[in-house]
Amino acid sequence: MTRDSRRRLLSRTVVGLCGLSVVVALIPLALIFFYVVKQGFSSLNWDFFTKLPKPVGEVGGGMANAIAGTLILIGIAAAVAIPVGLIAGIYLSEYPKSHLASAVRFTADALNGVPSIVIGIFAYGLAVMPVHRFSALAGGIALAFMMIPIIARTAEELLNLVPPSLREGALALGSTRSRAAFSVMVPAALPGIMTGILVALARISGETAPLLFTSFNNRFFSLRLDQPISSLTVQVYTYAISPYDDWHRQAWAGALVLVTLIFIFSALARIVTRRLERMHRA
Amino acid sequence: MPKAPSSRRSADDRWFRLGTGLFAFLIFLLVAAIGYELVKNSRLSIAKFGLSFWKTRVWDPVSGDFGALPFIWGTLYSSLLALLISTPIALGIAVFLSELAPRVLRTPLAFLTELLAAIPSIVYGLWGIFVLVPMVRTLQVHTPDWLKKVPLFTGPPIGVGMLSAGLVLAVMVIPFTSSVAREVLKAVPPTQREAAYALGATRWEAIQAAMRYGRTGILGAIILGLGRAIGETLAVTMVIGNNPQVSLSLYAPQYSMAAVIANEFTEAADNLYLNALIEIGLVLFIITLIINVLSRLLIWRVSREVKVKEPRRVPAVEAAA
């Protein structure tokens, strides 16, 4: 074999291997979806959404409390994180060159990489230790801490996409900076900011680690913020590591509901993005 | 006397800057507060054990003796194993999607690979317990006898253990590494490849030229993946076996830093026990912080344009941004 044909063969081999690696990565993806859908669907029934968990040994029951709990936790997180993240994002885009902005940008990205279990320990020290009680509020706060950097950075990024002439026009008409930001810039970037929020929601709704010792778990239906509350993720975890077949069945059903929830957020984000694209084209 | 409109406006602007700046500062404060809180709540364990905490293997809550060596070993072992498996695959994907794939295939394939990042850790864990672990067990049962004598493959075939943890982590890390590496390759100027082709290079040789140009960024992408693997909790907890031992064997059930926190935190009956667990969290925090900063700096060196972000959890968004 000549040197050239060897080089060409090597090149083709590597190109093939690169294509193969895509296939290799898609195999676990397909397997996970296959099992979650298959096992989840066969275990999902009306009781799952309407009933409370049954005591150990009894077959049946559902996760009504965990579904409500997850929605409450997400609600708390959103209520805390959206205003903080959005206003921080406004600062980052209005004063991009300030020292504070670069420091905040850096720490926001660092915060994004902090393991969620560490956020859980922090929220435990902040909201559980002083009152000696697990609570929905502590869990919601932990999730909010994970949402804030995502929202701040996407809000900044999307505010930067708004043509600066809009702000300049508002300022030229005698508006204050806050007026220009809140009444001109934010509405112009709103669809994008919504997308950022939905992405952050999709991310936190699957989190388990920060809830294990903040919101803990609750076998009963609870809507109280100062009490431990159940969540889909923690419930799936508890059931998955249990030795009971019926609980395993319910864990798969819970996983299916969880994945569906995340995909609803993603689909919404996609719809908003489409509208954004249409707007930009217009 | 009423103030002139212009001075009222500049006062308003000052308040606006101060007000929004305060919220931005909260983010900064948050990271500082995490560090402070973790140090404060682990002081008992730091004072009692000092550095020996990281060198000893006893983990005895009853007698109050704590050493975290098995956990740090398990975390490092599983993360490096995951990196070893995921890096070639992730780089292959990045190269394929940025250089080789036909245009029509690029977006859908990128969407699918990044979908791996949208699956929650708990679902990976569930799948790991009921699907992957039995597969690994079958593999272990069929290990030829001569291979079982190698330290890497000793121990009974129980499925849960280092190999399962490494495999789950590898799958979870792939989308992070591949999406950043893809962005890095996109930022390499096309002239690099064109010059290589002009000199008669084959496709692979041209890709090598591009990769060499972006090597610091690619290294950054790999390190970013390492940070993700080190901090991953639930999926690892569910398949690693939760047995605090220091073993070279891929088949041995072991433990990790995040897993021990997840398992024992609510059971920690006394303050010293809790402090020891929080100290593990503190080290996890410091390690991931350093890794994140390092990977960001490396990627920045290639191009300021490349943003170090996790792959979009909602890959569809990419098109608009």
Q: What was the pLDDT predicted at B307?
A: 55
Q: Are A232 and A257 in contact (CB under 8 A)?
A: yes
For testing contact with chain A, the best of B23, B42, B290 (most A CBs within 10 A): B23
Distance from CA of B221 to the nearest CA of A (A): 13
Q: What was the pLDDT predicted at B258?
A: 96
Contact A202 B41 (CB under 8 A): no
Check whether A281 has a pLDDT greater than 70: no
Encode pLDDT of B51-79 as tens digits.
999 999 999 988 989 999 999 999 999 99
Check if B234 contacts A (Cβ < 8 Å).
Answer: yes
CA dist., res. B293 & res. A270, Å (int)? 31
Q: Are A215 and A234 in contact (CB under 8 A)?
A: yes
CA dist., res. A246 & res. A232, Å (int)? 16
What's the mean pLDDT in B207-220?
A: 92
Strand partners, A53: A61
Contact A25 B116 (CB under 8 A): yes
Is this structure's pTM higher than 0.95? Answer: no
What's the mean pLDDT in B268-281?
A: 93
pLDDT-based confidence at B320, cuts 50/70/90? Answer: very low
Tell me what the pLDDT averaged over chain B comes to: 89
CA-to-CA dists, residue A204 to A37, A182, B85, B285, angstroms: 21, 27, 27, 19
For the beta carbon of residue B287, count every other beta carbon within 10 angstroms.
20
Q: Between B316 and B53, where is the model more confident?
A: B53
Q: What was the pLDDT predicted at B3?
A: 54
Check residue B189 and report its DSSP letter.
-
Check whether A206 has a pLDDT greater than 60: yes
Q: Are B225 and B86 in contact (CB under 8 A)?
A: yes
Check whether B321 has a pLDDT greater than 60: no
Find the CB nearest A21 among B38, B93, B131.
B93
Domain-located, residue A275: yes
Check whether A49 has a pLDDT greater than 50: yes
Find the CB nearest A25 among B113, B231, B278.
B113
Domain-located, residue A266: yes
Q: Between A270 and B124, where is the model more confident?
A: B124
Number of domains in chain A: 1
pLDDT-based confidence at B305, cuts 50/70/90? Answer: low
Find the CB nearest B289 among A98, A110, A176.
A110
Distance from CA of A50 to the nearest CA of B (A): 22
Contact A10 B204 (CB under 8 A): yes
Q: Between A36 and B297, where is the model more confident?
A: A36
Contact A208 B30 (CB under 8 A): no
Domain-located, residue A45: no
CA dist., res. B255 & res. B69, Å (int)? 10
Q: Are A21 and B93 in contact (CB under 8 A)?
A: yes
Domain-located, residue A16: no
What's the mean pLDDT in B174-201?
A: 92
CA-to-CA dists, residue B11 to A97, A171, A183, B18, B22, angstroms: 21, 15, 19, 11, 16
CA dist., res. A267 & res. B11, Å (int)? 43
Tell me which chain A residue has its CA closest to the CA of residue B321. Answer: A158
Strand partners, B59: B66
Which ipTM value was assigned to this complex? Answer: 0.92
CATH code: domain of residue A84: 1.10.3720.10
Strand partners, B66: B59
CA dist., res. A144 & res. A81, Å (int)? 5
For domain B16-319, give the CATH number. 1.10.3720.10
pLDDT-based confidence at B313, cuts 50/70/90? Answer: very low
Find the CB nearest A26 among B112, B120, B122.
B112
Check whether B125 has a pLDDT greater than 90: yes
CA dist., res. A228 & res. A235, Å (int)? 13
Tell me which chain B residue has its CA closest to the CA of residue A133. Answer: B266
Percent of chain B scoring above 70 in pLDDT: 92
What's the mean pLDDT in B165-176?
A: 96
Contact A202 B97 (CB under 8 A): no
pLDDT-based confidence at A10, cuts 50/70/90? Answer: very high
Query: What residues of chain A lie within 8 A of the CB of B203, using their CB?
Result: 11, 14-15
Q: What was the pLDDT predicted at B22?
A: 95
Domain-located, residue A157: yes
pLDDT-based confidence at B303, cuts 50/70/90? Answer: low
Tell me which chain B residue has its CA closest to the CA of residue A241. Answer: B238
CA-to-CA dists, residue B17 to A83, A185, B110, angstroms: 16, 15, 40
Check whether A276 has a pLDDT greater than 90: no
Containing H/E element for B42? none
CA dist., res. A147 & res. A81, Å (int)? 6
Q: What was the pLDDT predicted at A212?
A: 95
Query: What residues of chain A lie within 8 A of the CB of B44, using their CB?
Result: none
Q: What was the pLDDT predicted at A273?
A: 76
CA-to-CA dists, residue A3 to A17, A279, B201, B206, angstroms: 21, 55, 13, 17
Domain carrying residue A206? 65-281
Instruction: Work out the angle at residue A193's Cα, subtended by the Cα atoms of residues A187 and A199, and round it to the nearest 5 degrees.
Output: 160
Q: What was the pLDDT predicted at B319?
A: 36
- Range of A51-65, B135-149, B246-260 with top mean pLDDT: B246-260
CA dist., res. A239 & res. A230, Å (int)? 13
Find the CB nearest B317 among A112, A117, A269.
A269
Encoded amino acid at B302, one letter: V
Find the CB nearest A209 among B13, B262, B317.
B262
Domain-located, residue A166: yes
Contacts for B112 with CB less than 8 Å, ≥ 6 apart? A26, A29
Domain boundary assignment for chain B: 16-319
CA dist., res. A132 & res. A116, Å (int)? 22
Contact B115 A29 (CB under 8 A): yes
